[in-house]
């Protein structure tokens, strides 16, 4: 469809709405993809982000993508253009973080308007050009992100009511951003990636204010983010509850984006589609992040999945979020081209009142009576009032929780009291409720006669509330003003039957006031009739005043008329008011309230404020009491009040009280503690913790209670959270219970330390040591520095880790979010830290973690490094971070695991074993990762060569070997090799591997499963080894040689000596293969080849290289044959395993002799066997056929040069294996930069070059290098 009249002169809203309505009924329209992903691929520098305008800005600006609209507008424009050419009808401005709140991290709050205006203009110019070029209108959407603050979650676990931003601050920030966007000419606005619905409500509130006062109304899109398989956003709301919470603004389009791939998003986008009359927008990530934090979903795969959405009628607008590129958008546009767009449902929920807390609630004609819990009212509950006034908000929450547990579907909150600061109290209590999922699951009824208090409550809740109440008491103008504000917040409203003349008491006036109010709300304010709830005033009967006796009847009559004449409106009331005259007589009051509701509901009463759970069944009321209540309600005779009063006086007390039975309290104390932690119940945590502490036989020390049942409970919390069965507010709630339990134990742990100090003092005195000053004990197990890395603002998981570690007596230095690397290192030094922990949620955080690891290595830091966060993984840590930092680098799955890891690192006895097991595990992970790579991207061979290791050879001290040529070692002393044996591979042969902490030699001897067997095998090995040496059944021989050398490209030229090098008289050439698999964008390491470690010929410097071949397998074949004849398979395996170990030991011993004598390039101290096996020395000895040079044919050059077969007896088989099998060969490199690496897969261009340089056919080299080929020779030949 084309519209040649389109120009950058922004269309009127009516024209734009008409065009979009028409187009969206004809086809699925296309949204662009991820700007952040595109920007990351550009690898822009700090200077790029700064530009000239911000050259001298005091803060680091790299990562502030929005700023590029000012400093690199051409880059942003090109990205918009690419998406439009890919088929996008809409492009979003590059303003996801362009609010003063988010920009404050960069010190650029003052530039927010300019950034947004520039962003809109950049996108607008491109849209203009592409529209004119193609004839298809393109539209600019002003992107409004969620900011890096949240209204629903406290940044402090210790202060759950605290928020680091207010509703008003967010609203102002969003308004400032929107002004810039609209002044820059955007066509629409999009509030997106909503992880906290309260934030989006602040944004929508601000936009509504702008539309009402300053700007023409633009279409608004709203998109939420479901964070995991629980189907909730980060603040706990379901998709349906989210839709209800934001639908008051009537967004043109509603949907979901980010966090999930299309497959995972399917059920949630379907839930949204069935919950709204708005158009649906869906722009998922390109799959879920892989172990490296990258997105693997191909354009074809993503398009295929979204095509299914289209086929099923779920889409109106579709695009891509994180990881999606123009190629994805092009494929998606093509895939959905033939799909019919979703047809918007008409009159959806047209007769329903929709409310929401964390869950959605729909109240329609068929809905049963809705209980509004009444006890969170300082005027109606003496206990609640006392708790609030004395600041015991935690206990006050238990009142709310009990109401919900006993059936309240909505919770009334009233904090009106002359001795309370209502605004402050309401904000605090509602904020606290938000952190309690079991309470926050239901909608709130914000109840106050002070409108400022009502607003305070509305600003603190993400759901759709009820406001109780407004009325015409102060006149129509005041009524309209308050109703307009309530509508802007998205709340339903209770209207009392008051007007300027006062309260209505008879049915006729009640109906008249409600009718007038209804017409004003619907016709003037534009209120949805379903959001109007009338309270025709339930007034007290049986007061002794005759005129009050009909109040029950008048309410019921008014209710009937209201429901008949005011479509959509609901009726509610404060039920307990009816029976107030019998205060203190609970059985009487409950019976009166039940009888009243029994009849009022029949006449149309929809809901009421009641003490949920404390209402008897109508049929269960004693017959005499039932008759008295009926007489009283219907005012059947003049003595009705007296008769009920007489009955009440005959009772001996206040009547029954309903109690909630806590059956779990009968369980074992460990189970009770676990239950309290998992459920977040702190009511009994102190007494249960104390009971556990006093179980000295089970828990001898207070710390054992933490390590036992408390950590078990938190581990369950972690597992449930990971499985999507708990969501964030519940986890934080559990952490608070944990902290309370630990807080009780701390004094006892301090007393224990004090007692131990006293015991040491007495011991010194008994030994006659008088004046020794005892060093003050460090009260902490250890000190850990925690930080969310630079560029990331997510810290909730980190906060939980901090709480749990603090609970386990660690000193936690929390540096917060957006933490630069240097600040982390400085804090670790200044606080004498024992451990550093990094956290991050977004993919770029992974790159920053690699950078921090490199900086820790560069600065000589020796502290263990812990990695955690939603995007991180053990694989990424092992493959990307651990190789950058040689000290312990450990991925920590969750808060509970952090304690296990940190305690192991702080235990001097366990640390070494623990870290070694991690190193072993991560080595295996790396090997598996590189072996399993498929569909890897490769650089052109010439590109890889250009990115080789570049060294300043003038700075490298080149040492000449003590001789050039070869030296042989025949009948080498086997006994001298025994100290060099690495026994771990020996046990691997026997498949004997211990479990942590008993992995590896000699720890596996302690393993309860295989330790005894391992010791037996080891003893057998010692016996056989002793016999082999004594009988000289095995013999060892070897050879080493050295040559002058220079590199030429990827090859190494060998010379007989320096003079030959000067003449370029090449003795032989060693050919090399170079890494070609494309590295991570954040990985700036070179693409290595062994030739990089030898001085290049163009440098004029003569370098040196060595080579060797050793064997301890002479005689092994004969011995094996002897054992085979004796049917002794055990000894056959044993002798071969020992021969292999001796050959590797020979290589290790010879390498040490090389470094010390034959080629003394390193002045290393004496190293023990463990250090040698860990290769903690300068130089490498890579072998042909192994990762650094996977070509076995290079052995032929070595054998020819050294005369290996003639001089040692080690021969090469047809397949170039060495015989004897217990043999090792390799090259010696002395360069201090030399290191082992994996060439990985190579492509055809390198293979062709390699074969040509070696003078061999391509087919032959493809045979030898088959496992290293990144292509299929049969398909690609």
Catalytic site residues? 792, 794, 845
Q: Are 933 and 1241 in contact (CB under 8 A)?
A: yes
Strand stretches in 304-369, DSSP E:
317-318, 353-356, 360-363
Q: What residues pair up with 1043 in beta bridges, in sequence order? A: 1105
Picking from 437, 439, 483, 431, the residue whose alpha carbon sits closest to that of residue 457 is 431
SS3 1043: strand
Quick check: bond before 1248 cis, omega within 30? no
Q: Report the candidate in 451, 570, 475, 478 with the shortest Cα–Cα distance to residue 518.
A: 570
Q: Identify whether the C-beta of residue 1154 lies closer than 8 Å to the C-beta of residue 1038.
A: no
Question: DSSP letter string over 518-548?
Answer: HHIIIIII---GGGEEEE-------SS-GGG
723: left (phi over 0), alpha (psi -120 to 50) or beta: alpha
DSSP 490: T
Check: CB of residue 384 under 8 Å from CB of residue 375: yes
Residues 6+ apart with CB under 8 A from 795: 155, 788, 816, 817, 839
CA dihedral 53, 58, 62, 64 (to 10 degrees): -70
- Structural element, H or E, at residue 911: helix 908-931
d(C-alpha 658, C-alpha 406), whole Å: 10
d(CA 592, CA 911): 70
Question: In 637-684, which residue ranges form alpha helices assigned H by DSSP?
Answer: 640-650, 669-679
Q: Residue 91: which of 332, 329, 331 has the closest Cα?
A: 329
Are the C-beta atoms of 608 and 371 separated by less than 8 Å? yes
Q: Report the distance separating Cα 465 and Cα 490, nearest Å.
A: 8
**Residue 1229, SS3 per DSSP:** strand
Q: How many CB atoms lie within 10 A of CB 59?
A: 11
Would you call 947 helix, strand, or coil by DSSP? coil
Dist. CA 1040–CA 1052, nearest whole Å: 18
Map residue 188 onto helix, strand or coil: strand
Query: How much is the CA Rg of the chain, to the nearest whole Å?
Result: 38
Question: Which residues, 6+ apart, have CB-to-CB distance to 1121 below 8 Å?
Answer: none
Residues present in the chain in total: 1277
Contacts of 529 (CB under 8 A, 6+ apart): 518, 521, 522, 566, 567, 568, 569
Integer CA distances (angstroms), 624 to 589, 602, 1190, in order: 15, 23, 97
Q: Cis (ω within 30 of 0) for the bond into 997?
A: yes
For 684, phi then psi, to 5°, come to -110, 5
Q: For residue 900, what is the enclosing H or E element?
A: helix 895-906
- Nearest CA to 417 out of 395, 457, 447 is that of 447
Cis-peptide, bond into residue 1053, ω within 30° of zero: no
570-571 and 532-535 strand pairing: parallel
List beta partners, residue 445: 412, 466
Counts of helices then strands in the chain (DSSP H, E)? 47, 33
Does residue 337 sit in helix, strand or coil?
coil
Q: Rounded to whole angstroms, how far apart are CA atoms 1202 and 1212? A: 13
């Amino acid at each position: 469809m084309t519209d040649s009249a389109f120009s950058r002169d922004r269309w009127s809203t009516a024209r734009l709405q008409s065009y979009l309505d028409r187009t969206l009924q004809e086809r699925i329209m296309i949204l662009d993809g991820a700007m952040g992903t595109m920007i990351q691929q550009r690898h822009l520098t700090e200077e790029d982000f700064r530009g000239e305008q911000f050259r001298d800005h005091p803060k680091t600006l790299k990562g502030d993508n929005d700023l590029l609209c000012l400093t690199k507008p051409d880059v942003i424009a090109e990205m918009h253009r690419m998406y439009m050419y890919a088929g996008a009808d809409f492009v979003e401005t590059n303003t996801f973080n362009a609010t003063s709140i988010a920009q404050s991290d960069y010190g650029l709050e003052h530039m927010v308007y300019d950034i947004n205006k520039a962003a809109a203009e950049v996108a607008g110019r491109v849209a203009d050009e592409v529209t004119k070029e193609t004839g298809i209108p393109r539209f600019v959407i002003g992107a409004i992100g969620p900011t890096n603050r949240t209204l629903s979650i406290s940044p402090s676990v210790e202060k759950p009511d605290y928020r680091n931003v207010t509703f008003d601050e967010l609203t102002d920030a969003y308004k400032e951003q929107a002004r810039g966007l609209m002044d820059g000419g955007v066509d629409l606005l999009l509030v997106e990636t909503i992880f906290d619905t309260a934030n989006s409500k602040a944004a929508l509130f601000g936009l509504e204010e702008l539309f009402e006062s300053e700007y023409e109304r633009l279409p608004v899109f709203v998109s939420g983010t479901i964070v995991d398989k629980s189907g909730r956003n980060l603040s706990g709301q379901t998709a349906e509850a989210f839709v209800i919470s934001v639908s008051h603004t009537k967004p043109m389009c509603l949907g979901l984006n980010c966090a999930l791939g299309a497959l995972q998003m399917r059920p949630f986008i379907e839930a949204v589609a069935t919950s709204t009359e708005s158009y649906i927008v869906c722009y998922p990530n390109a799959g879920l992040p892989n172990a490296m934090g990258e997105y693997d979903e191909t354009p074809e795969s993503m398009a295929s999945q979204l095509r299914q959405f289209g086929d099923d009628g779920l889409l109106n607008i579709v695009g891509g979020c994180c990881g999606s590129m123009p190629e994805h958008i092009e494929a998606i546009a093509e895939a959905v081209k033939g799909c019919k767009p979703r047809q918007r449902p008409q009159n959806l929920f047209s007769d329903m009142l929709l409310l929401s807390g964390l869950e959605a609630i729909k109240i329609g004609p068929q809905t049963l009576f809705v209980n509004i819990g009444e006890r969170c009212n300082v005027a109606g509950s003496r206990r609640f009032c006392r708790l609030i006034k004395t600041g015991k908000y935690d206990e006050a929450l238990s009142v709310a929780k009990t109401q919900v547990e006993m059936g309240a579907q909505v919770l009334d909150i009233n904090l009106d009291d002359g001795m309370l600061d209502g605004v402050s109290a309401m904000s605090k209590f509602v904020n606290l409720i938000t952190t309690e999922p079991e309470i926050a699951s239901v909608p709130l009824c914000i109840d106050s006669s002070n409108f400022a208090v009502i607003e305070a409550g509305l600003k603190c809740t993400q759901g759709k509330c009820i406001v109780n109440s407004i009325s015409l008491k102060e006149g129509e103008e005041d009524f309209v003003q308050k109703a307009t504000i309530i509508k802007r917040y998205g709340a339903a409203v209770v209207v009392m039957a008051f007007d300027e003349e006062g309260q209505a008491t008879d049915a006729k006036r009640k109906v008249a006031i409600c009718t007038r109010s209804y017409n004003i709300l619907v016709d003037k304010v534009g209120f949805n009739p379903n959001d109007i709830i009338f309270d025709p005033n339930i007034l007290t009967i049986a007061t002794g005043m005759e005129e009050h006796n009909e109040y029950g009847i008048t309410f019921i009559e008014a209710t009937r008329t209201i429901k008949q004449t005011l479509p959509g409106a609901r009726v509610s009331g404060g039920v307990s008011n009816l029976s107030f005259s019998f205060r203190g007589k609970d059985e009487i009051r409950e019976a009166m309230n039940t009888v009243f509701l029994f009849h009022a509901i029949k006449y149309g009463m929809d809901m009421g404020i009641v003490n949920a759970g404390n209402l008897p069944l109508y049929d269960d009321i004693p017959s005499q009491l039932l008759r008295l209540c009926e007489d009283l309600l219907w005012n059947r005779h003049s003595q009705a009040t007296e008769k009920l009063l007489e009955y009440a006086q005959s009772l001996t007390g206040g009547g029954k009280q309903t109690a909630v039975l806590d059956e779990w309290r009968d369980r074992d104390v460990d189970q009770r503690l676990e239950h309290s932690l998992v459920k977040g119940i702190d009511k009994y945590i102190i007494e249960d913790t104390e009971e556990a502490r006093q179980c000295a036989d089970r828990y001898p020390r207070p710390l054992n209670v933490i390590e036992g049942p408390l950590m078990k409970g938190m581990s369950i919390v972690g597992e449930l959270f990971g499985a999507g069965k708990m969501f964030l507010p519940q986890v934080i709630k559990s952490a608070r219970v944990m902290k309370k339990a630990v807080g009780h134990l701390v004094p006892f742990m301090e007393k224990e330390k004090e007692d131990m100090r006293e015991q040491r003092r007495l011991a010194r005195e008994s030994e006659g040591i008088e004046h020794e000053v005892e060093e003050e004990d460090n009260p902490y197990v250890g000190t850990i520095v925690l930080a969310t890395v630079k560029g990331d603002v997510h810290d909730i998981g980190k906060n939980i880790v901090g709480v749990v570690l603090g609970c386990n007596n660690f000193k936690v230095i929390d540096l917060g979010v957006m933490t630069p690397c240097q600040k982390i290192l400085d804090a670790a030094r200044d606080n004498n830290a024992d451990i550093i922990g990094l956290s991050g949620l977004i993919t770029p955080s992974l790159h920053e973690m690699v950078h921090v690891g490199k900086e820790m290595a560069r600065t000589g830091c020796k502290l263990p490094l812990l990695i955690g966060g939603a995007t991180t993984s053990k694989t990424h840590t092992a493959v990307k971070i651990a190789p950058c930092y040689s000290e312990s680098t450990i991925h920590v799955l969750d808060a509970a695991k952090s304690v296990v890891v940190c305690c192991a690192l702080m235990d001097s006895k366990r640390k070494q074993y623990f870290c070694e097991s991690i190193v072993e595990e991560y080595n295996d992970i790396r090997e598996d990762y590189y072996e399993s790579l498929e569909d890897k991207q490769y650089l052109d061979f010439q590109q890889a060569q250009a990115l080789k290791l570049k060294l300043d050879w003038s700075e490298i001290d080149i040492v000449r070997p003590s001789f050039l040529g070869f030296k042989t070692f025949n009948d080498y002393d086997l006994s001298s090799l025994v100290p060099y044996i690495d026994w771990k591979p020996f046990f691997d042969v026997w498949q004997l591997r211990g479990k942590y902490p008993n992995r590896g030699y000699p720890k596996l001897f302690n393993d309860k499963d295989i330790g005894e067997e391992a010791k037996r095998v080891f003893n057998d090995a010692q016996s056989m080894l002793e016999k082999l040496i004594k009988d000289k059944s095995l013999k060892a021989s070897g050879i080493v040689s050295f040559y002058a050398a220079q590199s030429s490209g990827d090859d190494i030229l060998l010379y007989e000596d320096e003079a030959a090098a000067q003449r370029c008289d090449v003795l032989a050439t060693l050919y090399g293969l170079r890494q070609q698999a494309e590295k991570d964008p954040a990985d700036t390491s070179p693409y290595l080849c062994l030739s990089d470690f030898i001085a290049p010929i163009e440098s004029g410097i003569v370098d040196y290289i060595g080579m060797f071949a050793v064997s301890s397998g002479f005689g092994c074949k004969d011995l094996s044959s002897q054992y085979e004849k004796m049917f002794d398979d055990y000894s056959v395996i044993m002798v071969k395993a020992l021969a292999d170990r001796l050959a590797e030991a020979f290589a290790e011993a010879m390498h040490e002799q090389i470094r010390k004598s034959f080629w003394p390039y390193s002045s290393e101290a004496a190293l023990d066997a463990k250090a040698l096996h860990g290769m903690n020395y300068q130089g490498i000895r890579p072998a042909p056929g192994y990762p650094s040079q996977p070509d076995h044919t290079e052995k032929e050059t070595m054998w020819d040069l050294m005369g290996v077969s003639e001089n040692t007896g080690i021969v090469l088989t047809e397949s170039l294996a060495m015989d004897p099998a217990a043999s090792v060969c390799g090259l010696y490199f002395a360069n201090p930069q030399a290191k082992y690496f994996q060439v990985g897969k190579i492509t055809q261009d390198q293979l062709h070059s390699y074969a040509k340089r070696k003078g061999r056919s391509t087919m032959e080299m493809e045979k030898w290098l088959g496992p290293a080929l990144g292509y299929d020779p049969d398909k690609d030949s």
